[in-house]
Structure 1
Amino acid sequence: IGAISGTSQYRKSSFLLNSAGEQIFPAFLEMLERPHIPKGLASSPFDQEGAATRDRELVRDGVLGGYVLGSYSARRLGLKTTGNAGGVHNLLVRSQEGALDPKAFLARLGTGLLVTELMGHGVNGVTGDYSRGASGFWVEHGAIAYPVHEITIAGNLKPMYRHIVALGDDVDVRGGILTGSLLLDEMTVAGE
């Protein structure tokens, strides 16, 4: 979300600089902001500046619809506030094709790495470069084969976003961004 914040845009410090209206994700992916979900952890009728919040489609058919703006960043960009001073409110990341249950997710993965834990903060918001320590399981023919640890996964976020092929239905509801697991068809993995 930091890459589409108004602050990152007016400072020209985002790998998604001037990307509104562009295809960033696969066509099946959407990101919907729903700030008025009853009992939602990030629900709020207004942002930190008192501006009213509203339902928004940040991403529709994989296309970035706009930025996350408070009043200051909106003024700097010559735009209107989106009611996002302080961040997003209940961002739902969804697949128009439907989310996969864990068994279907592993079957779609086939053979590859199932990451269950990430370590460190190796994300460069300006270039989009991504490199993090990880652990999880090696999957073969849709079944967990053995655990893996002390590995590094790396790539660049722009191609990683385009390489999302499915979403899982294992949504973690303990925060303000609600998404299931992401299945990518390509990424660099290092380690034994």
Structure 2
Amino acid sequence: MATNITWHEEAVKTEDYRKMNGHHSGVLWFTGLSGSGKSSIANLLNQRLHEKGLQTYVLDGDNVRHGLNADLGFSEADREENIRRIGETAKLFANSGTIVLAAFISPYQKDRDKIRASLPEGDFIEVYVDCPLEECEARDPKGLYEKARNGEIKGFTGIDAPYEAPKNPEIVINSGELEVTSCVDQLIKLLQDKKWVD
């Protein structure tokens, strides 16, 4: 834990960035099993919002592990640290007036709750991308489920590591039944209802 540090107040506040951008900012946290469609939904939503001229950014699980979290594995402790770092990064983006679309399996409720608690009330939207394990396995876009079933990957969420579904998410997206475009339509309506966007 670092010592001898002092918080430096910014001259430009979050509200200033929001006023300049013309919209609210905050974090949409996409959680769900591997293969549930989190990244696909987040990326299409990002495209749709970008086309409206909004300030947005996608943080994706695999992409972040190529850089910021390249030193972390998949133990429970490393997963917790992975999500902690992402939560802090997402908060910085949100403070800069950006709508952050964070797509991470993030299997533990306590880790997601910590991120929610670190943000002002109303600035965190938990999006549960709900897709049955059987459907995720059938899709298996990265071939990970097959490797997990064959014992090549240990501690794989949904197979031999737990996934804790959100207790009270702001929205549940049934990605096993809906096309990606329909999922995104639901999210845009939610953002409009919450006055994040017009």
Q: TM range, normalised to the smaller chain?
A: under 0.3
Structure ranking higher in helix proportion: 2
Report which structure shows greater RCO (CA 8 Å, sep ≥6): 2
TM-score normalised per structure 2: 0.23
Structure ranking higher in strand proportion: 1
TM-score normalised per structure 1: 0.23
